[in-house]
Amino acid sequence: MKPSLLMCPPDHFGLEYEINPWMKLSRQPERHLAQEQWSALYRFLRDDLGLAVELIEAAPGLPDMVFTANAGLVRGREVVLGSFRPPQRRAESPLFEAWFKQRGYSILTLPPDQAFEGEGDALPAGPGEVWAGYLTRSDVRSHALVSRLLDLHLTSLELVDPRFYHLDTCFSPLGDGSLVYFPGAFDDYGRQAIEAGFSDLIAVPEEEAVQFVCNALVAGRHYVQPWGGGRFLRPALEARGFEVHQFDLSEFIKAGGAAKCLVLRLDWPE
């Protein structure tokens, strides 16, 4: 099934605070370039891959709203709304809530002291199966509730490297039992759980992981990622029959996000 997605144009994207190690106020994104990069990705997903891409209007004063992956986790007509750890992003939630409400979704919410940053930290790996990251951003206590609310089999993974602060920066299930991941982002126990949970592991080396190549949207046999990964990941994916599509997302990487962070799945992969 082709995924349908939610994106937010970068009309108010910017770097106004530092809430992850990639963000440096001294390294400002270039607005015009960010617009072009986002549009190229959006047009590709919509026109070339033929995906249904819905849009939410950007809001002034919310420079990270472009990263819709953090809006929540959607299953069927239900959405667990993201509950942000950084205060700077909390005002996004009512806007995403209104968007989902208008379209008839049932909104499920978490207690405010249980941070949960949506699909940024919770990645579907098969029907009813999700892997979820915690520590820097999402709170491990949110996992039990998310799993119960959406009736999911959830495996929690601690994120131990601050550069890989959301699970989607270092972990990308391909939907066929394979996984692209950066082992250094997890502790020994997490790595054991991953090894037991996937039949085919594509372990990305650090020099490619820091290019955000694990931050990818997977649609069928298409792997949509930022630039990089030419030495190891690309050949590994092509050997498995994937088509790799690379986009220049430099301006979003300055804010700590890339291809996956810019989209939220509105349906569950089968």
Catalytic residues: 166, 261
Instruction: Name the residue number minimizing CB distance to ligand ARG.
Output: 120
Give the binding range for ligand ARG (CB under 6 A) out of 6-14, 66-74, 152-160, 241-249. Answer: 66-74
Do 217 and 6 touch, CB atoms closer than 8 A?
A: no
Give the binding range for ligand ARG (CB under 6 A) out of 19-27, 42-50, 103-111, 230-238. Answer: 19-27
If one asks whether residue 19 binds ligand ARG (CB under 6 A), the answer comes out as yes
Do 119 and 72 touch, CB atoms closer than 8 A?
A: yes
If one asks whether residue 114 binds ligand ARG (CB under 6 A), the answer comes out as no
Q: How far apart are CA 37 and CA 108, in angstroms?
A: 33
Residue whose C-alpha is closest to residue 172's, from 255, 231, 50, 258? 258
By CB under 6 A, name the one of 261, 263, 264, 266 that touches ligand ARG. Answer: 261
How many helical (H) and strand (E) elements, i.e. helices and strands, does the chain have? 7, 15
Give the binding range for ligand ARG (CB under 6 A) out of 37-45, 204-212, 223-231, 256-264. Answer: 256-264
Nearer to ligand ARG, 75 or 166 (CB): 166
Q: What are phi and psi for residue 113, nearest 5 degrees? A: -85, 5
Between the two ends of the chain, the Cα-to-Cα distance in Å is: 7
Q: How far apart are CA 93 and CA 221, in angstroms?
A: 32
By CB under 6 A, name the one of 8, 13, 62, 64 that touches ligand ARG. Answer: 64
We find the least distance from the C-beta atom of residue 85 to ligand ARG, in angstroms, to be 9
Do 193 and 154 touch, CB atoms closer than 8 A?
A: no
If one asks whether residue 110 binds ligand ARG (CB under 6 A), the answer comes out as no
Q: Which residues are at the interface with ligand ARG (CB under 6 A)?
A: 19-20, 23, 64, 67, 69-70, 89, 120, 166, 168-169, 255-257, 261
